[in-house]
Each structure stands twice: as C-alpha cells, then as structure tokens.
Amino acid sequence: MKRSIWNTLSSIDCSEHIEKKGQFSYLSWTWAWAMVKRHYPNADYDLLPDTVYPDGTMEVRVAVSIMDGEVDPTGGPFTLTHTMWLPVLDHKNKAITNPNAFDINSARMRCLVKCLAMHGLGHYIYGGESFPAPSPVLQEKYEELVSIVANELYWDLRKFTEDNSEHMDNLFNMAPEGKKSRFKEDVRRVYGLGNDELKKNLAILEDCAGNPDTQWNATEIMSELGPIEREFTQRGMNEILRKQIEEKMEKGE
C-alpha cells in the first residue's frame, strides 16, 4: 500500500506549479493539495502544536494522512501518515525571531507541501531536479508509445492516448532532451493519419446508408475493420447513420 501511494504521487510532473523565490523553489500548496485530493479524496492533514525556542524562533509541524482504499490486516482502511517539521523562515531561508501571523501561516503551508513530498508528490524538487524520475510503469508506457508512433499504428495510438490521457504530459517529457518537440509532432502526425482514415470510413458508410446504388455492403465493411478501428468508427457515427448501418447489417446488406 505504501508503494502504491508513493508510485502514484511521485510520478506526477509538478514542474508547471513550482514557484521561485530567490534561489529556492517552492511547490504551490493549493495545487499540491488539490492534486493529492484528486487521487485520494479521503486524504487529510493536521497542524500539530508549534515549537517556540528560547531565542524566539519557531518551528511548525504538519501531519498528512492518506487512505488508499485498501484495507489493513485489521480489516480497516489502510492509512499512511507522515509528519514533517519546518522552521519559520524569511526569504533568505533564515529562521525568523518572533515571527508574525503571516510568517507562521506561510511556514505551515510550506511544511504541508514538504510533508506531501514524504508521500511522493514533488519529492524530486528537494533534490534539485526539474522532473520526476519515471516509474517502471511510465517507462513501459513510454516505450509502448514510441513503438506505436514508429510503426505508425494510428488506431493503436488513438486508443493509447485515450487510455493514458492523464499521463501524456509526463510521457512527452520522457523524450530525450532536444527531441521533445519532434516527438510531439510525430505523435500528432500519426494521430492525424487515424483522423484521415476515420473520415474515409465514415464517408463510405454514409454512401452505403444513403445511396441505393452503392457498391458498398455495410456488413462486409464493418467485418473488415479491426477491433479498435471498428470501435472508433462506430463512435464517430451520428445517431441516424448508426441506426441505418445497424439496419443494413441486420439484413446482411
């Protein structure tokens, strides 16, 4: 269960939501928490008691608990909790003496994000990296995508992008430096080949449905389509065309 939470959150690309303050990088807490809640709606956090030191500086503490929907050995929901602490710092990352309410609030939100990193989200930022290391699952998906594009399997590409829509940005970023834009162009080009083929299929079916003298046979046309091509062709029909083709196929026409 711990591995599942880590793998899910650590593979998310946070690069567009990193805020720069001087030489330090921070992840937007609003986006970070929204992202965690999207994957784990029952996630929760607690602001633990602050620690005030003799020199007037302060340390805040936050605990984040995530339930992943599985059950633990006792039969209850599996919950993973991490606790993190952070001094109240100024813009130079120096501890503030007698911090005000704004300083304390900012530190709590930064501590929340730091605690989320313990669960995996944006952890690589603290190591000075720009993007997360790809998980084995994402690596497999990337290699599959590269193969599909290289072989111009446009129907497979259509299915792949639909099934992996939430990962496509990460998969594009996994292309080698200097080749990311070219890779995106290749994906769009192959996807466009599928669009062209879909338009041809629909044009033939429309002729079959609306032209009594047509040479096309609806049953033969649909039977010659591969499973993925048939699925997207059927989804591309409007309701009227779909009913006309279904009627023709029932009659064997």
DSSP tag of 99: -
Report the SS3 class of residue 151: coil
- What pLDDT does 29 receive? 92
- What pLDDT does 73 receive? 58
pLDDT confidence band for 227 (50 / 70 / 90): very high
Summarised one tens digit per residue, pLDDT across range 28-52 is 899 999 999 999 999 999 999 999 9
- What pLDDT does 2 receive? 56
HSE at residue 15, side-chain half, CA atoms within 13 A, is 11
- What pLDDT does 162 receive? 93
- What pLDDT does 173 receive? 80
Q: Which residue has the tokens 């711990």?
A: 2
- What pLDDT does 157 receive? 96
Work out the number of other CB atoms within 10 angstroms of the CB of residue 80. 18
- What pLDDT does 108 receive? 96
- What pLDDT does 148 receive? 96
Cα 19–Cα 23–Cα 25 angle in degrees, nearest 5: 30
This prediction's pTM: 0.52
Work out the number of other CB atoms within 10 angstroms of the CB of residue 193. 15
Cα 244–Cα 248–Cα 251 angle in degrees, nearest 5: 145
**Rounded mean pLDDT of 226-241?**
94
DSSP tag of 89: B
Q: Which residue has the tokens 């006309």?
A: 244
pLDDT confidence band for 21 (50 / 70 / 90): low
Q: Read off the tokens for 34.
A: 């929204």
Domains detected in the chain? 2-127 (3.30.390), 136-250 (no CATH)
pLDDT exceeds 60 at position 1: no
Q: Which are the contacts of 203, defined by CB distance < 8 A and separation ≥ 6?
A: none
Residue 119's closest CA among 87, 60, 173, 79?
A: 79
Rounded Cα–Cα distance for residues 135 and 10 (Å): 8
pLDDT exceeds 70 at position 70: no
Summarised one tens digit per residue, pLDDT across range 121-158 is 988 777 655 455 556 777 889 999 999 999 999 999 99
Rounded Cα–Cα distance for residues 66 and 78 (Å): 8
Summarised one tens digit per residue, pLDDT across range 83-136 is 999 999 988 889 999 999 999 999 999 999 999 999 999 887 776 554 555 567
Q: Which residue has the tokens 């047509």?
A: 214
Summarised one tens digit per residue, pLDDT across range 163-187 is 998 888 888 888 887 888 999 999 9
DSSP strands (E only) in the chain: 18-21, 24-27, 44-52, 58-71, 77-87
Q: Are 129 and 14 in contact (CB under 8 A)?
A: no
Instruction: Average the pLDDT over each of 133-137, 192-196, 207-211 and give the range with the smallest value.
Output: 133-137
Summarised one tens digit per residue, pLDDT across range 210-219 is 888 888 888 8
- What pLDDT does 138 receive? 79
Q: Are 226 and 194 in contact (CB under 8 A)?
A: no
Q: Are 147 and 40 in contact (CB under 8 A)?
A: no
